[in-house]
Amino acid sequence: MQMTPARDWPCQASRMVIVNLQPTVKDGEASLVIRARTDEVMTKLAVALGGPLVVRPFKRAEAFVVKHVAAPSGGLVLEVVDPVGAPLGFVLSVQVWH
């Protein structure tokens, strides 16, 4: 688990299953590692436990701040950050018109 805050939480379980497409730093501690998409695994698990389960599409909604600072070259640098100043990894690009 590479993403915070999940990777920083202490594991309280005696056994752990990791469902992730890529290897994680916690794989060695897991009783079972499944290389698949989490929503697909959880849907199949719910059906096996008596489902059916309807999984609604995930819609991400977060606050963000666009700020600018002077660049050494004399221009401006735009930064897209969360409300406390941390970078937002899900922002791929920003386009500016003037």
Residue 17: per-residue pLDDT = 92
Residue 75 lies in a domain: yes
- How far apart CA 30 and CA 18 sit, in angstroms, is 6
Question: Are 50 and 83 found together in one domain?
Answer: no
Residue 4 covered by a domain: no
Q: State the residue range of the domain holding 18.
A: 14-57
Q: Closest by alpha carbon to 94, among 75, 73, 68, 59? A: 68
pLDDT in tens, the chain (98 residues): 556 666 667 777 889 899 999 998 889 989 999 999 988 898 888 889 887 777 778 777 777 888 887 888 888 888 888 787 777 767 777 777 76
- The verdict on 24 and 38 lying in the same domain is yes
pTM of the model: 0.49
Is the separation of the CB atoms in 67 and 83 below 8 Å? Answer: no
Number of domains composing the chain: 2
The pLDDT value recorded for residue 1 is: 56
Same domain, yes or no: 33 and 65: no
Residues 20 and 49 in one domain: yes
DSSP 3-state percent helix, strand, coil across the chain (nearest 5): 15, 20, 65
Could you tell me if 49 and 78 lie in one domain? no
